[in-house]
Amino acid sequence: MTSYQSDLLRTLDARGYIHQMTDASALDALAAKGVVPGYVGFDATAPSLHVGNLVSIMLLRRLQQAGHKPVVVMGGGTTRIGDPTGRDESRKMLSDEAIEGNIASIRTAFERFLTFGDGPTDAVMVNNHDWLGKLGYIELLQEVGTHFTINRMLSFDSVRLRLDREQPMTFLEFNYMILQGYDFRHLNKEMGVRLQMGGSDQWGNIVNGVELTRRMDGVEVFGLTTPLITRSDGQKMGKSVSGAVWLNEASLPAYDYWQFWRNVDDRDVGKFLRLFTDLPLDEIARLEALQGAEINEAKKVLANEATSMCRGAEAAARAAETAQRTFTEGHAGGDLPTVAVSAEGMGIVTILKELGFVASNNEARRKIAEGAVKVDGAAVSDPALLVLPDGKQVTIQLGAKRHGLAVSA
């Protein structure tokens, strides 16, 4: 680990958040001297962010814990364009109403992780449509466009990926990096923001903003990125067997969120405890040193801590109790995902999809063929099986770890 003088960089370094910085020593000196407003941008393409966004949210939490000011920038403007970074094709365009609804929903999750208010280190949420929406096209071209060369823009991975695969990239998307760079410059002028943070895939966009602010205003601002957070099996964070691991309760029940963390690979426990919980580092070192079956206790700690932070202590306790009853005592815990079935019954394939256990009918049929699906403890071999709860709870099981209930509507 590098020796830093500021609490901020010492914490980020010790917990594994730092991948790249534009000027580490100058940022360290700035953070040691006073309050640094720093931001991360999030596009509002869905009503909830997911676990893949969590490391960026935790960056803002660490910033606030170290005595600095988090600025959450919601991309009400840039969502109308779509970030091409890491994407093979264009995003669907969303209506203004959908974007505003998504931002309102996403804010409820941020309120779990950050303290919002009017104080010098209180978090604030802003919407970049408030300033990008007022920019005239000619004004943007004259004032900002002259600081971006086509040569440089074509060199960015987000652009080269599309070109190399001969996939179309619209002129609208091509402008995304200009507007994100302009965000940093605007936030510095209007709010004194000195730091932009994000994932490693955002490095080029962040550097654009640093350079634009220096060229247009002569002000030094800084960028910091985290390493790409992957699981030990090589998959990206945020994905599970049945889809995205959403942060909002309305998009994913607390029990499923708890189970995601409980089921992480043994090799990921220490890393995830450092990144996604507030546990002290010496306690994390003790937990990740556990061997054999004892590592499961560390996973339960991870699940409880991560779920408490995102959904509240009560939801975490309910999820833990449900898991205990379901897996240890053999009972159906009351917090299991549930699907309501009418008197006519519901096909097992549909039930598996409704519970979120599978992403498609084909996947459900494949799991049934593999013998991985059970109804009330009996293996299912017929994908056309009709489930009729008839006033009772019917337990639905996929593999050893996914449990749900079918109940009468």
**Domain coverage including residue 268:** 253-328
Cα distances (Å, whole numbers) of residue 17 to 224, 294, 298: 9, 27, 21
Domain boundary among the residues 274, 293, 328 is at 328
Mark whether 193 and 260 lie in a shared domain.
no
Number of domains present in the structure of the chain: 3
Q: Can you give the CATH number for the domain in which 396 is found? A: 3.10.290.10
Out of 116-130, 298-312, 391-405, pick the least confident.
391-405
Residue 404 lies in a domain: yes
End-to-end alpha-carbon separation of the chain, Å?
57
Mark whether 69 and 179 lie in a shared domain.
yes
Q: Can you give the CATH number for the domain in which 257 is found? A: 1.10.240.10
Residue 52 lies in a domain: yes
Mark whether 205 and 289 lie in a shared domain.
no
- Give me the DSSP letters along 232-301: TTSPBTTEETTEE-BSSTTTS-HHHHHHHHHTS-GGGHHHHHHHH----HHHHHHHHT--GGGHHHHHHH
The confidence score (pLDDT) of residue 378 equals 83
Mark whether 22 and 143 lie in a shared domain.
yes
Residue 246 lies in a domain: no
Mark whether 131 and 209 lie in a shared domain.
yes
Out of 79-88, 212-221, 371-380, pick the least confident.
79-88
> For tokens 């960026």, what's the residue?
56
The confidence score (pLDDT) of residue 147 equals 77
Across 162-187, average pLDDT? 80
Domain boundary among the residues 328, 354, 387 is at 328
* Higher-scoring residue by pLDDT: 220, 402: 220
Q: Can you give the CATH number for the domain in which 201 is found? A: 3.40.50.620
Which DSSP state fits 326? I
Mark whether 316 and 362 lie in a shared domain.
no
Across 177-183, average pLDDT? 86
> For tokens 């507007």, what's the residue?
179
Mark whether 195 and 270 lie in a shared domain.
no
Two tokens at 83?
A: 């970030």
- Determine which helix (DSSP H) or strand (DSSP E) holds 73, and give its type and residue range: strand 69-74
Domain boundary among the residues 307, 328, 349 is at 328
Summarize pLDDT for 48-104 with one digit per residue, the tens: 999 999 999 999 999 999 999 999 999 998 887 765 555 545 556 788 899 999 999
Decide if 153 contacts 174 (C-beta within 8 A): yes
Mark whether 394 and 324 lie in a shared domain.
no
Residue 242 lies in a domain: no
On the 0-12 / 13-18 / 19+ scale of CB atoms within 10 A, 372 is: middle
* Higher-scoring residue by pLDDT: 27, 386: 27
Mark whether 314 and 371 lie in a shared domain.
no
Summarize pLDDT for 239-282 with one digit per residue, the tens: 555 568 999 999 888 988 998 999 899 999 999 999 999 999 99
Among 237, 263, 257, which residue's Cα sits nearest to residue 356?
257
Mark whether 146 and 29 lie in a shared domain.
yes
Two tokens at 388?
A: 């009729």
Residue 245 lies in a domain: no
